[in-house]
A and B are shown apart, each in its own frame.
Chain A
Amino acid sequence: MTAADTNQPTDEELVELARRREPGGLNALYERYYDRMFRFTYTRLGNRQDAEDVTQEVFLKMVDKIGSFKWQGVPFAAWLFKVGHNSVTDFYRKSNARGPQTTLEDLPIIASDSPEDAVVNKLVLEAVNKNIQRLTPAQQQVLALRFGADLSVLDTARILNKAEGTVKATQFQAFQALRKLMANEGQR
């Protein structure tokens, strides 16, 4: 569903307000993209604390850079997640490619019907997390952008500077690899 479908302001309208540093525009963009950005960084980093830190950094960069943002046929979401992608890359560089250091308590909140479901959900998420980090960087990037950020193949391709066909192939390989890893996990 697009903003136009729900009579909500479009990204273009909000960006224009944000460029003038109108609180309403920035606040609306923040509300619209925070959760997706968090899921993206969390999928990439596998650690809640790091994901929160990097997500914050992304939005602070958004404030700093939005004045220079130009509409050149690229959606705002693609621009923002490019900032997110670069921030994750910087984070890995600064932390010497530190891997996920997740404990059960670190895992994000997942809505559950019962405490038992909540524990199972956390265990599943922990396993998924661990195995996503075993994928190749390219596969992780595609998974995070497609499923964490909810981006289309086209926008994912724009952010990664790849062809759409390459993104689709990487996506398929990522699922196959992850499925295999999860299956092995289940046999232990």
Chain B
Amino acid sequence: MNQTPQDRLVEELFNAGLDALIRGESIEPILAPHPQHAVTVRSMLQFATNLRSVLEVAPNPTARAATRYQVMARAQKPRRFWGSLVSGWGLPRTITAAALIAALLLGTTSGAVAVSANALPGDPLYLVKTQVEDIQLALAFTEDQKAEFAINRAANRTTEIAGLAAQGKPVSAETIARLASHTSFALALAESAKATNIQRLLSITERQLEVLAQVAASAPPAALPGLERALEAGQQGRDRAFAALERAKPAATPGGSSEQAGPGQPNSAGGGAAGDLGPTRGPGAGGQNGAAASRTPGPAGTPPGQVDRTPEASRTPGPAGTPPGQVDRTPGPAGTPSGQTNRP
């Protein structure tokens, strides 16, 4: 196409104006030296602005949550045959379901499934246990049932960490990552499922914090860094569960964004639980740059490794100045598990 010099100038003005608009700047300095083209270019830029806002479409929240679940599942699975079979992505759902049923039956016949129920990370039967959980998840018929299985799985991870610490075994980074990941899965499903599921997840994350904090009080020094990270993951999970519960309420509080904590939200364990494991905390152990660092410390009187579970109505402001039941949620990248992003 042959362009005249005037056409080229209009094109240049349009592109420069568009860049200015995208940067949030005025287009007038660009148009001022060329008044003869100002009307044309302004009209084109108005159209571009309208088009831009029309294309600001939001995805379906359910599809978004489902994709997140699959992405995290893909990341979690080792890239081997069994892993791809259990996770099932890429295989037709009917084939996957048939293979999983066969696998579950096989496991039950051998008795390994029942024995593996109490297995801890590192035990020979632990893989069987996690695979059975995956099978249950894959075979769930409804979203609510799937959410329930996912929540059970997150609860199992908590129990395992408590079990490891009780036996004086170190809690590996992989075990912590699994706790965070499974809690995240459960959240993704619960956020788009029934409020009762979210409520249950909230209870479980509260329990996570309670169990972990109790374990932390008597755990051997080697287990403390891992427990600290688990506490941070649990706090983050609980905060998200609480935010999801708030969103699930039929009548939204005016201006009450789920990202902004207010009176009545669960009290942060950041100062008391994760932050006070002090002596064993190495540089960058998780809390320095992550969730614990970004939160306002809780009441200074909260014993190390403990969670303030005082009922809302009876909470009084702690000396540190944090209103009772409030969490200083410094937003990370939307949904970023803040305690994990700066881990060494």
Contact = CB atoms under 8 A, between A and B. Distances in A.
Interface of A: 3, 8-9, 13-14, 17-18, 21-28, 30-32, 34-35, 38-39, 42-43, 48, 51-52, 55-56, 59-60, 62-64, 107-111, 121, 124-125, 128, 147-148, 153, 168-169, 171-172, 175-176, 178-179, 182
B293 to A, nearest CB: 11
A31 B89 contact: no
B320 to A, nearest CB: 22
A31 B58 CA distance: 13
A52 B273 CA distance: 40
A17 B341 contact: yes
Contacts of B51: 128, 147, 175, 178
A178 B54 CA distance: 13
Given A23-B75, A55-B67, A107-B57, 20 more contacts: A8-B333, A9-B333, A9-B336, A17-B343, A22-B340, A22-B343, A24-B336, A27-B68, A31-B333, A31-B334, A39-B57, A56-B71, A59-B70, A60-B71, A60-B74, A128-B55, A147-B52, A172-B14, A176-B44, A179-B44
A64 B77 CA distance: 11
Interface in B43-72: 44, 47-48, 51-52, 54-60, 63-64, 66-68, 70-72
B15 interface: yes
A110 B11 contact: no
Given A60-B89, A63-B75, A25 B70 contact: no
Given A22-B177, A31-B335, A172-B14, A63 B57 contact: no
Contact of B340 (A23, A31, A32, A179): A23
Contacts of B75: 18, 21, 23, 26, 63
B14 A43 contact: no
Given A25-B341, A27-B335, A108 B177 contact: no
A32 B333 CA distance: 7
7 contacts: A8-B332, A8-B333, A18-B75, A25-B340, A59-B67, A108-B57, A175-B14
Interface in B1-49: 11, 14-15, 18-19, 44, 47-48
B205 interface: no
A48 B47 CA distance: 24
B48 A175 contact: yes
Interface string B145-164: 00000000000000000000
Contact of A108 (B58, B89, B180, B181): B58
A32 B184 CA distance: 16
A121 B55 CA distance: 10
Given A13-B341, A14-B341, A147-B51, A172 B11 contact: yes
B337 A110 contact: no
B72 A26 contact: yes
Chain B contact surface mostly: helix
Given A27-B184, A28-B333, A172-B11, A124 B54 contact: yes
A57 B72 CA distance: 13
Contacts of A60: 70-71, 74, 89
Interface residues of B, number: 44
Nearest to A41: B59
A168 B336 contact: no
Nearest to A28: B336
B76 interface: yes
Specify the main secondary structure of chain A where it touches its partner.
helix
B60 A175 contact: no
Nearest 3 interchain pairs by C-beta: A24-B340, A108-B57, A28-B336
A8 B52 CA distance: 26
A179 B10 CA distance: 15
Nearest to B178: A23
B44 A9 contact: no
Contacts of B70: 56, 59-60
Contact of A56 (B18, B67, B184, B341): B67
Contacts of B316: none
B218 interface: no
Given A13-B342, A175-B48, A128 B54 contact: yes
A153 B16 CA distance: 11
Given A172-B15, A175-B44, A179-B44, A109 B60 contact: yes
B58 A110 contact: yes
Contacts of B89: 60
A171 B51 CA distance: 13
A35 B59 contact: yes
Contacts of A178: 51
A110 B341 contact: no
A17 B259 CA distance: 24
